[in-house]
């Protein structure tokens, strides 16, 4: 079986599990650009990358109608490049980064779409995991939404490791509802990876980030 056939079979199987109102983001980090080109030929347009250098190099060679999602940890010195090639940033959790994103986006003549990353770990919070605490969401969101180069589109979360993800994804949905009371247009929920995306969808996810279930093991 060719690589194209392998990807097509896995992609079709995944698509069959997704409701029409859920956006599939194929996480292409560490996979070659040839895999991304196959996915493009098979009709996919939303791709996720965790590293600026890899996202930049792939964005350079893929067609302009691709929608790029940056979902890795933000490094301030990489933001100019990230804002230049990405359509969405999924990992915003620092107001200083939001301010810099806004400045860069204005210079580039765009408004950067951002998800606010929520730390869904239960107390005590794992300091190694990114994201703001749920009680801090509204204050953070209102401050970020006032920046002229930033558009807050929703919330993002990563399910806890080795735990039932249901409570975490329910909490993310609650955060989403609170956010929409303040910013009605910020209704997206980015949640769910290859191991838990069906649970995330049950809990209201609008965007799922899938890599290994489509492209195989890294």
pLDDT tens digits along 134-148: 999 999 999 999 999
Residue 218: alpha-carbon gap to chain centroid: 19
**Whole-prediction pTM:** 0.96
Q: What is the mean pLDDT of residues 155-173?
A: 94
pLDDT in the model for residue 52: 98
Q: Domain tally for the chain?
A: 1
Q: What is the CATH number of the domain that holds 77?
A: 3.20.20.10
pLDDT tens digits along 73-118: 999 999 999 999 999 999 999 999 999 999 999 999 999 999 999 9
pLDDT in the model for residue 172: 98
pLDDT tens digits along 186-217: 999 999 999 999 999 999 999 999 999 999 98
pLDDT in the model for residue 122: 77
pLDDT in the model for residue 127: 53
Residue 128: alpha-carbon gap to chain centroid: 19
Separation between Cα atoms, residue 115 and residue 153, nearest integer Å: 6
Residue 164: alpha-carbon gap to chain centroid: 21
Alpha carbon distance, N-terminus to C-terminus of the chain: 19
pLDDT tens digits along 11-58: 999 999 999 999 999 999 999 999 999 999 999 999 999 999 999 999
């Amino acid at each position: 079986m060719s690589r194209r056939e392998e990807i097509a079979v896995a992609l079709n199987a995944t698509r069959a599990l997704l409701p029409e109102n859920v956006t599939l983001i194929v996480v292409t980090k560490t996979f070659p650009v040839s895999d991304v080109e196959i996915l493009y030929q098979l009709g996919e347009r939303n791709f996720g990358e965790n590293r600026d250098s890899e996202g930049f190099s792939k964005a350079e060679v893929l067609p302009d109608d691709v929608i790029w999602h940056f979902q890795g940890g933000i490094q301030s010195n990489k933001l100019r490049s990230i804002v230049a090639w990405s359509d969405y940033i999924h990992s915003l959790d620092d107001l200083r980064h939001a301010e810099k994103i806004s400045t860069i986006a204005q210079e580039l003549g765009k408004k950067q779409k951002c998800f606010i990353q929520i730390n869904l770990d239960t107390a005590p919070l794992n300091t190694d995991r990114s994201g703001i605490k749920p009680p801090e969401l509204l204050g953070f969101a209102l401050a970020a939404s006032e920046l002229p180069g930033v558009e807050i589109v929703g919330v993002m979360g990563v399910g806890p490791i080795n735990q039932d993800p249901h409570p975490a994804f329910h909490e993310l949905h609650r955060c989403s509802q609170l956010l929409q009371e303040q910013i009605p247009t910020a209704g997206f929920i980015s949640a769910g990876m290859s191991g838990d995306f069906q649970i995330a969808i049950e809990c209201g996810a609008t965007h799922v980030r899938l890599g290994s279930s489509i492209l195989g093991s890294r």
